[in-house]
């Protein structure tokens, strides 16, 4: 029997091949060369890439036997995950391989900006000795604000605490008790911007976080503030940052990421008080070795039909066929749950009802947690680290299995209790031969809405004219309504509008809707 074929399309750590072991036929090619890649991928079972190889619909069409795409790193910009999923090809990455490297680079950028390392080095290379010009500041006894207290944010906080810094953090999805255990004081973003001498950004890039640190926030800062972004480009508004630096409203910046990459001509590069690197967060020998070993292990699991914890789209092997369609549904329900909650719940019940309870549905609990935390932590969330993330944040999780389902063949519900005692619930099911994902309940209101990429939920006092106001505001914002349902608990009582829209609704538009209809709550979930 022939061995499975693994194609290594870029230079990877030698430890990658060692981790694969002798059970595979290893081939190599230059994945950046399309003329070489397309014939090389034709009959392989797995392909290992870094960032230069583009695995898109064309490459997938050429890959007749492909079962796994493994990205030896975190980002998946060069992999068409949707096309891979449609082709039944698993995509895996190495979500924790670079967290130490990224944290250390953030600290390096902070120190470099504080001590003017970059311009002082450039001056010395030009034959200039400018000791007095480049007098810097110490980190000791200064306040650092960590924006996003995920795994990398925590590592940065630990390292900067060792410098004798006071650490505050903004992260609405971390409980104060958990932060206090680390010696970190949780504050809102306005307070962080006003108090911090340094800030370091460690958030995922989502529609809600793009431009989070912009003109309004920078206006609250001390003139001595130094901003570091080694997370994702675009979270710090680069135009606003440039103007604040140019006008002396803040003191400096350390940047590793940019809104558009590769970036070689930003006006920020003209400023002496900016130190910049070309997205080097994961560029260490250790991170590359960890990434190679991690994806090699995932490839071994996938090609042997086992559950792959770091798969970002489909799972394999031991999961019953009838359960598998519920995995992406449950993950989406988790993301909707988080959007509705607006915070980390103290407890979450994952309730599974119906015919699929004849099988092992434990994977649905993991899928729910993966969804719940996907949009609120900086790290890549996987089936391995999702329970750990819940434990770290003090969230009690319970799987409830019940064979009876009154209204649906199968029903999955996420029900959670928040810190103030309020409950959040969201339910979904699969409908028809094509197993279409439907949202059928939100916070006790019965709905029937397709789980599209962009959803919004508005709760208000039932009265005439609301739909017209809503349509007008969204029309002015250029947002097209794909589907809408109004539910209410009683005539003149509480009503809920569930919206499916073609594009994400920005924060300003959501705020306007809330004001215009006097909504008790407004939430948006962006699943695309």
What's the mean pLDDT in 310-314?
A: 77
User: Does residue 249 belong to any structural domain of this protein?
Assistant: yes
DSSP 8-class letter at 47: E
User: Does residue 4 belong to any structural domain of this protein?
Assistant: yes
Q: Based on the domain organization, do 132 and 244 belong to the same domain?
A: yes
Q: Based on the domain organization, do 103 and 65 belong to the same domain?
A: no
260: domain range?
99-276
User: Does residue 432 belong to any structural domain of this protein?
Assistant: no
Q: Based on the domain organization, do 267 and 287 belong to the same domain?
A: no
Q: Based on the domain organization, do 56 and 84 belong to the same domain?
A: yes
Could you give the CA distance from residue 464 to residue 118 in angstroms, rounded to a whole number?
Answer: 62
| 401-437 per-position pLDDT tens digit | 999 998 899 999 999 999 999 999 999 999 987 889 9
Q: Does 25 score more than 90 pLDDT?
A: yes
Token readout for 71 is: 């990205």
Q: Based on the domain organization, do 114 and 252 belong to the same domain?
A: yes
Give the pLDDT confidence score for residue 96 in this predicted structure.
Answer: 86
- What's the structural domain count of the chain? 2
| 54-77 per-position pLDDT tens digit | 999 999 999 999 999 999 988 788
Could you give the CA distance from residue 30 to residue 299 in angstroms, rounded to a whole number?
Answer: 20
133-142, 249-258, 428-437: range with lowest mean pLDDT: 428-437
Give the pLDDT confidence score for residue 17 in this predicted structure.
Answer: 92
User: Does residue 188 belong to any structural domain of this protein?
Assistant: yes
More confident residue, 2 or 437: 437
| 87-120 per-position pLDDT tens digit | 878 899 998 899 999 999 999 999 999 999 999 9
CA angle 340, 346, 349 (to 5 degrees): 75
Give the pLDDT confidence score for residue 380 in this predicted structure.
Answer: 65
More confident residue, 381 or 495: 495
Is the four-CA dihedral 36, 42, 46, 51 of positive or negative sign?
positive
Which residue in 279, 415, 454, 459 is the catalytic one? 279
User: Does residue 438 belong to any structural domain of this protein?
Assistant: no
Which residue in 11, 128, 141, 261 is the catalytic one? 261
Q: Does 360 score more than 90 pLDDT?
A: no
Q: Based on the domain organization, do 133 and 89 belong to the same domain?
A: no
pTM: 0.75
Q: How confident is the model at residue 187 (pLDDT cuts 50, 70, 90)?
A: very high
Q: Does 198 score more than 60 pLDDT?
A: yes
Could you give the CA distance from residue 521 to residue 422 in angstroms, rounded to a whole number?
Answer: 13
Are 401 and 331 within 8 A, CB to CB? no
Are 37 and 53 within 8 A, CB to CB? yes
Q: Based on the domain organization, do 232 and 251 belong to the same domain?
A: yes
Write the secondary structure of 229-270 as one string of H (helix), E (strand) and C (coil): ECCCCCCECHHHHHHHHHCCCCCEEEECCCCCCCCCCCHHHH
Which residue in 116, 232, 335, 438 is the catalytic one? 232
Q: How far apart are the first and last CA of the chain?
A: 41
Cα 148 to the chain's mean position, in Å?
A: 11
User: Does residue 231 belong to any structural domain of this protein?
Assistant: yes
95-104, 147-156, 381-390, 486-495: range with lowest mean pLDDT: 381-390
Give the pLDDT confidence score for residue 1 in this predicted structure.
Answer: 63
Q: How confident is the model at residue 175 (pLDDT cuts 50, 70, 90)?
A: confident
Q: Does 347 score more than 70 pLDDT?
A: yes
User: Does residue 431 belong to any structural domain of this protein?
Assistant: no
CATH code, domain carrying 301: 3.40.50.720
**Domain end point (choices 276, 299, 332):** 276
Residue where the block lists tokens 């920005």? 506
DSSP 8-class letter at 313: S
**Domain end point (choices 276, 293, 327):** 276
Q: How confident is the model at residue 377 (pLDDT cuts 50, 70, 90)?
A: confident
- Give percent of the chain with pLDDT exceeding 90: 79
Give the pLDDT confidence score for residue 18 in this predicted structure.
Answer: 93
Could you give the CA distance from residue 500 to residue 504 in angstroms, rounded to a whole number?
Answer: 10
Q: Based on the domain organization, do 54 and 127 belong to the same domain?
A: no
Judge whether 261 counts as a catalytic residue. yes
Coil/strand/helix, residue 149: coil
Residue where the block lists tokens 């995922």? 204
**Domain end point (choices 276, 302, 333):** 276
118 contact partners, CB below 8 Å, separation of at least 6: 112, 272, 274, 275
Q: Based on the domain organization, do 42 and 162 belong to the same domain?
A: no
Average pLDDT of every residue of the chain: 93
User: Does residue 114 belong to any structural domain of this protein?
Assistant: yes
Q: Based on the domain organization, do 60 and 185 belong to the same domain?
A: no
Are 473 and 509 within 8 A, CB to CB? yes
- Give the long-range contacts of residues 313-317, CB within 8 A, separation 24 or more: 313/81, 313/84, 313/85, 313/90, 313/91, 314/85, 314/88, 314/90, 315/90, 315/363, 315/383, 316/90
Give the pLDDT confidence score for residue 318 in this predicted structure.
Answer: 55
Give the pLDDT confidence score for residue 406 in this predicted structure.
Answer: 85
| 209-229 per-position pLDDT tens digit | 999 999 999 999 999 999 999
Q: Does 267 score more than 70 pLDDT?
A: yes
Q: Based on the domain organization, do 263 and 216 belong to the same domain?
A: yes
Judge whether 454 counts as a catalytic residue. no
Q: Based on the domain organization, do 267 and 241 belong to the same domain?
A: yes
Q: Does 384 score more than 70 pLDDT?
A: no
Judge whether 238 counts as a catalytic residue. no
């Amino acid at each position: 029997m022939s061995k499975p074929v693994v194609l290594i399309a870029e230079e990877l750590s030698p430890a990658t091949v060692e981790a694969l072991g002798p059970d595979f036929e290893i081939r190599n090619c230059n994945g950046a060369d399309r003329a070489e890649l397309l014939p090389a991928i034709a009959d392989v079972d797995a392909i290992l890439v870094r960032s230069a190889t583009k695995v898109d619909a064309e490459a997938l069409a050429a890959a007749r036997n492909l079962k796994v795409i493994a990205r030896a790193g975190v980002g998946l910009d060069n992999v068409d995950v949707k096309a891979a999923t449609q082709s039944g090809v698993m995509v895996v990455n190495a979500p924790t391989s670079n967290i130490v490297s990224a944290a250390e680079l953030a600290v390096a950028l902070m120190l470099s900006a504080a001590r003017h390392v970059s311009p002082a080095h450039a001056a010395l290379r030009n034959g200039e000795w400018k000791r007095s010009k480049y007098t810097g500041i110490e980190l000791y006894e200064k306040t650092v604000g960590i924006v996003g207290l995920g795994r990398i944010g925590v590592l940065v906080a630990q390292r900067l605490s060792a410098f004798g810094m006071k650490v505050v953090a903004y992260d609405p999805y971390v409980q104060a008790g958990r932060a206090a255990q680390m010696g970190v004081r949780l504050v809102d973003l306005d307070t962080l911007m006003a108090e911090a001498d340094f800030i370091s950004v460690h958030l995922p890039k989502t529609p809600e976080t793009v431009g989070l640190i912009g003109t309004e926030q920078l206006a609250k800062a001390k003139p001595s503030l130094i901003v570091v972004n080694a997370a994702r480009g675009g979270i710090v508004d680069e135009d606003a940052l440039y103007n604040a630096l140019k006008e002396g409203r803040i003191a400096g910046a350390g940047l590793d990421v940019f809104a558009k990459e590769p970036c070689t001509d930003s006006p920020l590069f003209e400023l002496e008080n900016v130190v910049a690197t070309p997205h080097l967060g994961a560029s260490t020998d250790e991170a590359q070795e960890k990434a190679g070993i991690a994806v090699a292990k995932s490839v071994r699991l996938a090609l042997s039909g086992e559950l792959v914890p770091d798969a970002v789209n489909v799972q394999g092997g031991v999961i019953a066929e009838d359960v598998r369609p519920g995995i992406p549904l449950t993950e989406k329900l988790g993301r909707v749950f988080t959007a509705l909650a607006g915070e980390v719940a103290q407890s979450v019940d994952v309730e599974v009802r119906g015919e699929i309870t004849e099988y092992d549905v434990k994977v649905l609990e993991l899928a729910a947690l993966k969804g719940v935390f996907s949009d609120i932590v900086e790290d890549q969330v996987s089936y391995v680290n999702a329970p750990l993330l819940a434990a770290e944040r003090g969230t009690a999780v319970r799987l409830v299995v019940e064979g009876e389902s009154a209204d649906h063949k199968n029903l999955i519900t996420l029900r959670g209790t928040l810190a103030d005692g309020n409950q959040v619930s969201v339910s979904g099911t699969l409908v028809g031969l094509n197993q279409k994902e439907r949202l059928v309940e939100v916070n006790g209101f019965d709905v029937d809405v397709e789980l599209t990429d962009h959803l919004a939920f508005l709760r208000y006092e039932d009265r005439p004219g609301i739909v017209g106001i809503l349509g007008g505001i969204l029309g002015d914002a250029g947002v097209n309504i794909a589907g809408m349902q109004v539910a209410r608990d009683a005539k003149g009582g509480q009503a809920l509008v569930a919206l499916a829209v073609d594009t994400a609704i920005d924060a300003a538009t959501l705020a306007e809707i809330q004001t215009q209809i006097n909504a008790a709550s407004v939430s948006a979930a962006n699943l695309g």
